């Protein structure tokens, strides 16, 4: 009494798949997380060695609790910050060890791709904010400073390799550019700078 084997009805397969599909459609979130990546410095040692940095090597940016900017001791505006930072960090001649009086000093760095020793700016951007500064303003300032560095890198990369920094794929070239134009943004230890 051999029963004929029935075929499994696959007609409802589509329905099952639809059900799953709708479930994933609903639960899915397509947003890709983006943001500004930064590296925090390690906590300061107990006895802080007093590192003296010359005045001309620092580009001071202060943000007070009313989101007002103070750039190099003068009132500033967010729309001008990028150009000011660029002017401060710019290094038109990598092979020249001297820099004008009003520009930061340079130090020697060995970058084989650029033909050995080149002179890189010692400039540091120092960012200080008040506890009352709004996060939005803080991010805007970080963004402008990052934009200044990335534009300078783009320019140098265009000059040396003929393409933008972000388009470079060779690890060595990326390293060379990063060495020639360091991302020197330092954040001061938090303190109240007033302006309540």
Partner 1 sequence: MAKFRKKGGKKTPGISTASLPDIIFMLLFFFMVTTTMREATVLVRISAPEATQVQKLEKKSLVSFIYIGPPLNTKLGTDSRIQLNDMFADVKDIREFVQLERESKDEADRPFLTTSLKVDKETRMGIVTDVKQELRQVGAFKINYSTKKKAIIQK
Tell me which residues touch partner 1 (CB under 8 A).
10, 13-14, 17-18, 20-21, 24-25, 27-30, 32-43, 65, 129-136, 138-140, 142-143, 146-147, 150, 190
Q: Which is nearer to partner 1, 1 or 40 (CB)?
A: 40
Contacts of 102 (CB under 8 A, 6+ apart): 56
DSSP state of 118: E
For residue 131, the number of C-alpha atoms closer than 13 Å in the C-beta half-sphere is 5
Q: Which is nearer to partner 1, 55 or 79 (CB)?
A: 79
The least distance separating partner 1 from the CB of residue 145, rounded to whole angstroms, comes to: 9
Please state, in angstroms and rounded to a whole number, the distance separating the CA atoms of residues 43 and 118.
32
Q: List the structure tokens of 175.
A: 């390293």
Backbone angles phi, psi at 117, to 5 degrees: -75, 130
Please state, in angstroms and rounded to a whole number, the distance separating the CA atoms of residues 41 and 188.
10
Question: 160: helix, coil or strand?
Answer: helix
The least distance separating partner 1 from the CB of residue 118, rounded to whole angstroms, comes to: 25
The least distance separating partner 1 from the CB of residue 106, rounded to whole angstroms, comes to: 26
Q: Which is nearer to partner 1, 42 or 100 (CB)?
A: 42
Residue 126: strand pairing partners? 60, 186
- Say if strands 106-111 and 116-121 run parallel, antiparallel, or are unpaired: antiparallel
Q: Which is nearer to partner 1, 111 or 130 (CB)?
A: 130
Q: Which is nearer to partner 1, 24 or 51 (CB)?
A: 24
The least distance separating partner 1 from the CB of residue 12, rounded to whole angstroms, comes to: 9
The least distance separating partner 1 from the CB of residue 64, rounded to whole angstroms, comes to: 11
């Amino acid at each position: 009494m051999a029963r004929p084997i029935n075929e499994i009805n696959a007609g409802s397969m589509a329905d099952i798949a639809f059900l799953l599909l709708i479930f994933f459609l609903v639960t899915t979130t397509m947003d890709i997380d983006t943001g500004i990546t930064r590296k925090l410095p390690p906590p300061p040692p107990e006895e802080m060695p007093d590192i003296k940095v010359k005045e001309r090597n620092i580009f001071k940016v202060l943000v007070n609790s009313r989101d007002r900017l103070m750039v190099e001791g003068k009132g500033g505006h967010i729309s001008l910050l990028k150009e000011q930072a660029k002017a401060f960090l710019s290094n038109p001649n990598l092979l020249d060890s001297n820099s004008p009086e009003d520009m930061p000093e340079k130090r020697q760095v060995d970058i084989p791709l650029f033909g050995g020793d080149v002179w890189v700016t010692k400039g540091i951007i120092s960012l200080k904010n008040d506890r009352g500064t709004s996060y939005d303003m803080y991010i805007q300032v970080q963004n402008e400073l990052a934009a200044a560095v990335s534009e300078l890198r783009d320019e140098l990369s265009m000059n040396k390799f003929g393409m933008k920094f972000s388009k470079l794929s060779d690890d060595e070239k990326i390293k060379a550019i990063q060495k020639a134009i360091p991302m020197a943004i330092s954040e001061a230890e938090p303190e109240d700078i007033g302006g309540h």
